[in-house]
Chains A and B, each alone.
Chain A
Amino acid sequence: MLLLGALMFCVGLFVVFTRKNAIMVLIGIELMLNSANLNLVTFSRFDPQALQGQIFSLFVITIAAAEAAVALAIVVKVYKYFKTSDLDKINSMKG
């Protein structure tokens, strides 16, 4: 269980590092958040109250939804402005 969570986290990290498209980076972030949820729920099983981990993972899901909405709005706006969603070409703030 924990190994699966670790695998998901590392693949998410890999995707974030190696993809050029903004949406693929978002997919990687979602994977990492979900692996954190998996670990929380796994440990929540050994909690005598058995609720803290689950409630925390509920909050994580909520924050992931909010993050995805805002990030996709930004991606759409950036695409309108730069005509690309390639993260390497969006460099007008480069020093």
Chain B
Amino acid sequence: MELEAILFYFFAGITAFSVLFIAVTRNILYAAFALILTFIGVAGLFVFMGAEFIAITQILVYVGGILVLLVFGIMLTHRLKGQKLKTDRYQMLFGFLISAGIFGLFIQSIHSGAFSNLPWVDQEYSQEVELKSFGLSLMTDYVLAFEVIGILLLVALIGAVRIAGNARKEGTDAA
């Protein structure tokens, strides 16, 4: 087995293991740290899929942004007095049945879909995706979606600050 395949299975193993760890752990902080491992593993897999830009964005946005936000949320919503941050679970059987059923359905449909036999899979795009063409098509073909997503981010930012912000001035605030 060449090095590339070993690395691929290494990242896939990291992802699968940490995802399963999130499913079984009861400590919220451990789940958040396992989520970091998951995101790093998925970023590694993105590199093997020829999507380097998505991999970098994944690390920047998820590990650098969302995880920090999550840990801050955990800090702000628990009184940290040395006790472990446990979360209760409920509906274990129900949830397990539904998710295992959907997992079985996915496996079955992936196998019956037999994607590796489809004609268009044979012409696998082996050439590397250039960052230049990625940026060009982002700014030409998808420019409307790009602008809309920018506005959405701005609105979400303002909304988040407005919701979580200090309520001291709410008496004089018109809103």
Docked-complex contact A76 and B164, CB < 8 angstroms: yes
With A8-B19, A64-B66: A55-B157 Cβ-Cβ less than 8 Å = no
| Contact call B16/A7, Cβ cutoff below 8 A | yes
Smallest distance from the beta carbon of B96 to chain A beta carbons, Å?
A: 7
A66 in contact with B106 given A17-B95, A23-B77, A51-B137 (CB within 8 Å): no
> Which listed residue (A46, A65, A79) contacts B76, Cβ 8 A?
A79
- Which interface class (under 10, 10 to 19, 20 to 34, 35 or more) fits B? 35 or more
What does DSSP make chain A's interface, helix, strand, loop or mixed?
A: helix
Complex CA distance for A70 and B29, rounded to whole angstroms = 20
B120 and A46 contacting across the interface, CB-CB below 8 Å: yes
* Distance (whole angstroms) from the CB of A39 to the closest CB of chain B: 10
In the docked arrangement, what's the CA distance between A13 and B68, Å? 22
Whether the pair A38, B45 counts as a contact (CB closer than 8 A) is yes
B73/A13 in contact, CB under 8 A: no
Distance, CA A71 to CA B172, complexed state (A): 26
Given contacts A10-B100, A17-B99, A55-B138, contact A27 B70 (CB under 8 A): yes
> Would you give the 0/1 interface string for B64-87, flagging 1 where the beta carbon is closer than 8 Å to chain A?
011001101110111000000001
Contact across chains for A69 and B138 when beta carbons are under 8 A apart: no
Contact between chains at A51 and B134 (CB < 8 Å): yes
Expressed in whole angstroms, the minimum distance between the Cβ of B114 and any Cβ of chain A is: 12
